[in-house]
Structure 1
Amino acid sequence: MWSCMVTHPPTGAVPAALPPNEDERLAVLRSLCIMDTPSEPAFDQLTAMAVKIFAVPIALISLVDKDRQFFKSVQGTPIRETPRDLSFCAHSLLTEGETIIPDARLDPRFATNPFVVEEPYVRFYASSPIITPNGIRLGSFCIIDREPRTLNERETELLRHLASAASYLIDQRTTALQLEQAKQQIDLASERYRLATSATSDGIWDWDLRSGQIYLSARCSALLGYGGQERITSLRGCYRHIHRGDRKRIHEEIAHALHGQQNFSCEFRYLHGDGEWRWVECSGLLLSGAAGEPQRMVGALSDRNRIRAMDPLTHLHNRASFIDRIQSRIDKSSSEDEMYAVIYVDIDHFKRINDSLGHAEGDIVLLEIAARIRKSLADRPHSCAARLSSDEFAILLAHAPGEEDIAAYVQRLQEMLQAPVMSREQTLFLSASIGIATADALVRDAQSMLENADLAMYHAKNSGRSAHVAFAPHMREDAAKRVQLELDLRRALERDEIVLYYQPKVALRSGQVIGFEALVRWKHPDGEMISPAEFIPVAEETGLIRDLGMLTLRQAIRQAEQWRRDGILTDEMNVAVNISGRQIGDKGLVGFIRDQLQESGLPPHSLRLEVTESLLINSDTTTGEFFREIKALGIGIDMDDFGTGYSSLSYLHRFPFDALKVDRSFVQRIDQTEESLSLPRSIVALGKALGMRVLAEGIENMEQLTQLIRIECGYGQGYLFSKPVPAEEVPEMMRHLDSKMRTELMAS
């Protein structure tokens, strides 16, 4: 297909005129370093989506060079370039907006084009321009069919969105290349610096075996912390300062070297001149005389204390070293009247970055975070920072004038961490949850102080993230309550205290109930109804989510079958159950669902599973296998909270969804302005293009309902129709809803 590669147009081909800014356009195109590059998944996802959405055999991302057009991504043909003289896309450079050719045989520009009269027999062509942020047209995103057709307004808009996405990817790719080049320059400069300083970074020593005298270079003495007041000139003098636990090992290493092993290397603790134990590494080489007798041993001494105390990625303190620094500050504070604080920093949703962009990109982000934390301490010489785990950092803020100074520092730190981070892939926007524990006369150990800051951070995260919270004594009580909540939840699962409430899903125009969402509730023995927001996170953290999920599925399936027998649940209706990522990781879940359906007699199509986009961000091959097995059973799958994640479109391409549920945050912002409808309208259009139902969550008033109907959203749920109710109240709720909706719809 498209194998015709000629340098001059054959008879009948009509080349496109050159754009007025052709020289500038070509210069910009070549500066992007994108021509003749291999295909990339991000671009291929767009063209694959276009083939599916528009039901066409061919989709291209075309970049028009001086004498040819190059396809950065192509679906439906193996050809990666064609002559510019035969290019449809070259004509698109001259038009504003989209180019739509319903039938190329009827267009005099293309009627005799070889690609029209021969393979691949192009009849229909439509494109939208790919434009740089500066307005330079690089080419077009185009779709091709072998049959005449046209595009409606919604399809034209979707094509425009795909072209915009391709333009964005090209811009991000260019930024990533620039960052990579900058990184290479930095790496080269760092290597030159390392080579320049390696010769002087270690201390040098020389031991004369005949006289017993030891010479230490100035750098060596400085590493050990001994200057002019005390000079170490003998092995006995060295041994006095070596930790007792290390002396035997060093003696054995030296003995081995003196008896034929020509060199040795050993790490040990040395009493520094400041009174603290420091780790050093000593390496030596035995020098022998002409007769082979040992004469001297020479070597180097290097500081290992910093390496042993640092995080290998960020070069901040590690946990053990940081706790030592806190303890040292606590001990000194008994004699110094000073304010200090431990600040615990957790980067919100960092796991998403690692999972979606890879650990290499995640490391770039962590290095940038560490650099910003260092910068925040630039004017605080006695303070220090540590990396405690993958995405958790801590800061010891010393010599603070007061609590106001600590609060001001934390506020500035949070602002610094929220600034955009440029990775190789894209621009990232981060936030952090921060906990603060200030000096307390009652807290005399470092571990307790760090735990207090950690508890405060946990409260900041639970308050909505991107927040900072100071430790208060009640937080330890809250932590104890959380442990108790776990114990109570275990008992609740055994005692059938977990129940399901049901909220109807409604066809918006008719008010007809099309199904229910099963929502889990915990009725505590003391009569209190405990919110899922309290116990679901505990279940996730402790692994109880597996038992909770199975109980929920079992109850929902049995209740759905009972309603089906009672005539409440018709064949067109279903009951939806939410599932979590931990449940999907359970290899026995599909078999459990199959068994429950068979035991109850419920048809598979009467059950639906809802998954959130956050679950998909953390997905792996297990997720895809689970979806395929569930679909094979005949069970529908809905994407919940659609539009709140990173890569919704790619998930629609990868996973077999039946419906999209518009996140309630978009619905709650709906008012009488067109702007408030832009996102819901786009989701509705996308759902229709992909043949999926679209359901809006959180509908609370008639204004929202009216606007959703206006943008042709078919389905919804929310308090406007009914709050979640127990199973026994569903029949009455449906009668009330039927009457209410008839009244409301007639009034509207």
Structure 2
Amino acid sequence: MWSRQKISDSAASSSGPPTTEARQYGSIKPAFAMVAILIGGVFFTWWTVQNTDREMRQDRLAHARLATMAINVERVKALSGTEADLESDDYLRLKEQFAAVRAADPKCRFVYLMGRNEDGSVFFFADSEPAGSEDESPAGQIYEEISDEYLNAFDTVTALVEGPVTDRWGTWVSALVPLVDPDNGELIAMLGTDVDAGNWNQAVAAKAALPAGLFALAGVIAFFYIRLRHSDALIREHQVALNLERDQYQSLVGNIPGATYRCAADDDWTIFFISNQIEQITGYPASDFINNAVRTYESIIHREDAEAVSRSVAEATAAERPYEIEYRICHRNGGTHWVYEKGRCVIDPHGGPECLDGFILDVTERKLAEEHLALAATTDKLTGLPNRTLFLDRLDRRLKQSKRDCSKFAVLFFDFDRFKVVNDSLGHEVGDALLCNIARIFERELRESDTVARFGGDEFVVLLGSLTNDVDAEAKAKRLLEVFADPHSINGHHIVSTASIGLVTNAHAYSSGADMIRDADVAMYRAKANGKGQVATFDFDMRRDAVDRQELEADMRDAISNDQFLLLFQPIIDLSTGQTNGFESLVRWGHPERGMIGPEVFIPIAEETGLIIELGRWVARNAARQIGEWNQGRSDGEHLFVNINLSKRELLDSRICESLVQYRREFALEPQDLRLEITETTIADLRSDLLPMLHKLRDQGFSISMDDFGTGLSSLGALHNYPIDCLKIDKSFILRLDTDRSLLAVVSAITSMTQSLGIPVVAEGIESKETVVALQSIGCRWGQGFFFAEPLPESHVEAYLLDENDHQQTNAA
């Protein structure tokens, strides 16, 4: 025994891991080689980059010198370098030569000729860009970004390659070559050619990539060589570490947060060993449990959990598999704690159970957190009401119960009107307080058998748990409508937020609560469509309409990008002359399967989904582009205008004003060329929340028309309160002028009072000559309608304007 131990110790000594000094010495040479390779690679890569850059600069100078040979010096000498050259033949020919030079050199972006004034400023003779283009530098334009290197090239009459340099055109590498008078050798101008710096840097990097990659590969190889040299030493060090871990095991057991144990695999679970942590978990010392000296561990298990724990351990032991259980124990301080236990049965050599090994961990804090999370997962944080998850659970249970006892119940889906307006105008704090007020009213008005939940935003859903008949549900819904019609008093604001309610009962054969909520939601949208503040009871026609609406919504998301929308223009006529002064732009949807769809169908969908923002920008930009093209082509110099319709949703977009100004600038429109139409109901509903946006639009020069006047609740006396420049009388008045002459007095009063306020009037829906005469008799000057022209596609408008012009010339003759 002794000799074996001696040999073992000797072997360990001879084959043990090398010392730290030996390992460091063995790694010096390969490390030095790797560093040398990397330094050499960096230097060689730097040299390649510098050499490549130098060669490319020489190449650019050669191209620039070749370009000077193609220039007619006499033509340059004939130029003055001022705006007077712009129309000269020499200037235009020179630009053509520069364009040819740029076209012959694929790397070249700009070619230009610059001269120097007596005051030392540098100006352009000409460049290669098309006349009038954004990038052109016309004759006489001063080059403000001139560098000292450029000025020195002028002074010394030397060639120069400079860059990269950034100016208002971009970042460039520029080659500058003097153009000298062959007669006297004096400097006439400097010819410059510019190359994009991005392409320049890419070309330099491409030539440096190969050497850099080779040296990087050499560095990687050297790295792995060093790592292999260390591997043997690391393996021996790991063996030493394993031995240390074995020695430390017992001490680590005493430091883990749970208690480890070994006990008998019998009915008494006689404990052989249990670590001292058991006292932190139970309040009792480990000595109480060892050999069941004072008490058995089973005696402190909660009586409601004891049987389940015994069964779980017995089943796992019989199946020779580990067991995991969570249960409650009675702590020494009288409280109840949750513990997690995991263990396994150790099998003896004869195949029978020898003992149980495991550990016990206090999980009381986790269980409390889980209970809190479970409550949070089923409760709306803001209002404290049940959320969608809990409501669906209760609804599914009620649905199953009703199938057993044939009882009646109903679901009400609430959407509160004007909630978004409250949020946007008064702030989210007031909006949140409004939602909490609504929740408390629900709790006050509903019975214990009912459930109300907040689904998100301003949507609440009510389960009327017990009904005698379907009439009870509708009566309860109407009662709640009356309650919510009363104003809320919040932070000094009196807020009225009526509700739209969708109602569905279990009279239909529903298989799930989710289906009932879906149909109640559908009915709610029908209630909103009926005028808000309404109750709508679900029927299957609503579901078909909802499916059809969803299909249209899905199609509409791709309609703009697929160019399916069509812009039409209806002329607005001066009734005194019959001349067209402008147009109203109208949008139609050319659906690939359903054909032409009117705005009354797709505009509500666009507003609800937010697609109205994208669609509105498309309409505004295309209308601005079209009116710009028409006005450019008019020989009489008189500008036409175009009206675009804005919805309330668009006015809520803070970027609407900037977008309209951008379109006007993009297509070089005068302020009066692009005008806005907003319906009477929208303007009247704006009150104070969006009036600043209307004033902002007017401050930017946009004329605002109140559209469809007479369909809302505005009075003539209140017109001065709104920032409007024109009033358009709704066609429902104009269409009946021929049959109901009493309306003429109404329209006459509107026209007279509006014009007295300095607001012009446009009559919509004119369809007969008699209507035109009647309107002329009361002083209404403007009108539009099918009598003059139907809405026209842009391709027909020019022909319409030509016909109108020919007709007027014929009448004048």
TM-score for the superposition, normalised by structure 1 = 0.49
Q: Which has more helix, going by share of residues?
A: 2
Q: Which has the larger radius of gyration?
A: 2
- TM-score, length-normalised on structure 2? 0.45
